[in-house]
Amino acid sequence: MKKSAYITLASALAIFSSCEKEINVKVPEYKPALVINSSTEAEDTIRVMVGKSISILKYNRNHDLNITDAKVILYKDQVAIDTLKYDAWAGIYNSKTVAKTGSLYSIKVSSNGFDDASAITTVPSIVPIVSIIRQSKSRVDIDGIPQDELKISFDDPATTGDYYIVSIVKVSKDNGLTEFTSCINTTDASVESIYNESIDQNTCLSGNAIFFRDELFNGARKELRLFVNSQFLEPFIMNGDTVRTQVILKHVTEDYFKFQKTYMFASENVDNPFSEPTNVYTNVKNGYGLFSTLSYYVEEIK
């Protein structure tokens, strides 16, 4: 290379290096908001946790974000029916109202220094499981592990816009701990990935939550086909009690469905520097969190 070329290259490098400039960015002032957390099951009393949001620049694990002096008013069909009482031991605001299927409830939360927050929900009906058919060792997964096929049947209500979450779990009668299998497969077109991506027979879905809606079977009998680790479905003995696998069919609101999907997505990407930012869904006006209801039906696999 000629000397003039070296000089030209050195000049270019000097120009680009001189383009560096330190810029101070003023972060906008963050205004904390109320956070509501309430997922009440049908035929249970409505309970609510109230907290506050905090700037990401100020957050640390030692912060107490609970709010203990909020005014929490519950409405049914837009008529105030209850002012919830705070239970300091449980950290929850309790009502005397039992959530009835088909009923419309709303809530308004007030606290000094915050905008009033509110939300609304309708209690879904209980959808019973009609039958569970188990076919032993019907296939092997991609790792060669035997799987049983479960055919879970139920009758979808005639109304449109029904949302479901199925859990396949073992619940210990001794200590109440719940165990679920980490990999369930399916070929069912109704089942959704939490990543909103297409799935196939080798896609691992969490046994804690299988998400689907009734767009493809509204008002008809649905047969959900799942492939589950054969060993997980076998009962075991603990302290003299037989622990069997349970199928839990949750009939949920659209708000609950979206919140759980985005919450699971965000949880699975914690500490992953290459993941995309995820906003957890909220149905709270002027705040964050979830005020919703659900119903569920439980069937043991014999």
pLDDT of residue 60: 73
pLDDT of residue 181: 82
* Block mean pLDDT (10 aa), the chain, length 302: 50 54 74 96 97 82 88 97 96 97 97 97 97 96 95 95 95 71 92 89 94 96 97 84 91 98 87 72 97 96 86
- Contact (Cβ atoms closer than 8 angstroms) between residue 74 and residue 81: yes
Give Cβ neighbours of residue 90 (< 8 Å, ≥ 6 apart). none
> According to CATH, where is 2.60.40.10 located in the chain?
28-124+253-295
Q: Is 216 helix (H, G, I), strand (E, B) or coil?
A: helix
pLDDT of residue 245: 93
Which tokens in the block code for residue 94?
Answer: 């309790």
Please report, as a single letter, which amino acid is at residue 224.
Answer: L
Which tokens in the block code for residue 69?
Answer: 């002096």
Residues in the chain: 302
Alpha helices by DSSP H, listed for the chain, are 3-17, 254-268
pLDDT of residue 42: 97
Which tokens in the block code for residue 146?
Answer: 């035997």
pTM score of the predicted model: 0.87
Domain spanning 28-124+253-295: CATH 3.50.30.30:
no
Which tokens in the block code for residue 288?
Answer: 């964050």
